[in-house]
Amino acid sequence: MERAKYDFCVATANLNLKRQVIAALAAAGFQPAGTAASIPDLLRLLRTIQPWLAVVDTAVPPGNLAQLASIIEEDSLAAAVYVGTSGPPLTHYVMLPWPVEAPVLAAVAEAVCLEFARKKKLYREIASLKEKLTARREIEKAKGLLMQKLSLTEEEAFQRLRSHSMQQRLSLIETARQIILDPDAVPFR
């Protein structure tokens, strides 16, 4: 089975660690995309390149590692593996003690990338559902305005909304928004 191709960034000031991580992940089919020697550089890199994976040395200077982990997680910047060379342990994130065997690092990296992909898909689905719910609410509001203004039943209001939408070659939601913005501007008599 061919391993999925993910790109990754490494954040460390330790040249030996950087070389070993890049070699281990590259041998496993991952693609190196960049390196950073500090937390601010890593954040810039993640926002610019948008890799699948960030491998972060817990000793990367300067700043608060827990805050960095929180930013990466909350902003969905990348999947992340924290390599513990020093510093406080991160209890809610994937953390490996250093040194770590290359196959273990590769397996964990692939697992967090797959989980990150699943999470991104769920976020897209949630956004789509929110958009549909908002559209549905706007259509219902427009129907309500038509029912009130023209003394129509709910079905009649929907039929008028739909036929006007088709006549104007607009989507139903665009027509609904026009009605909501200015119920008097749309001729429905």
84, two tokens: 């513990």
Q: How confident is the model at residue 86 (pLDDT cuts 50, 70, 90)?
A: confident
Structural domains in the chain, sorted by start? 7-100 (3.40.50.2300), 125-181 (1.10.10.10)
Digit-coded pLDDT (tens) for 21-68: 999 999 999 999 999 999 999 999 999 999 999 999 999 998 889 999
In 3-state terms, what secondary structure has residue 88? coil
60, two tokens: 């990367």
Find the Cα–Cα–Cα–Cα dihedral 168, 172, 175, 180, rounded to 10°.
170
DSSP at 186 = S
For position 8, what pLDDT does the model report?
Answer: 97
Digit-coded pLDDT (tens) for 122-175: 999 999 999 999 999 999 999 999 999 999 999 999 999 999 999 999 999 999
Q: How confident is the model at residue 115 (pLDDT cuts 50, 70, 90)?
A: very high
Q: What is the pTM of this model?
A: 0.74
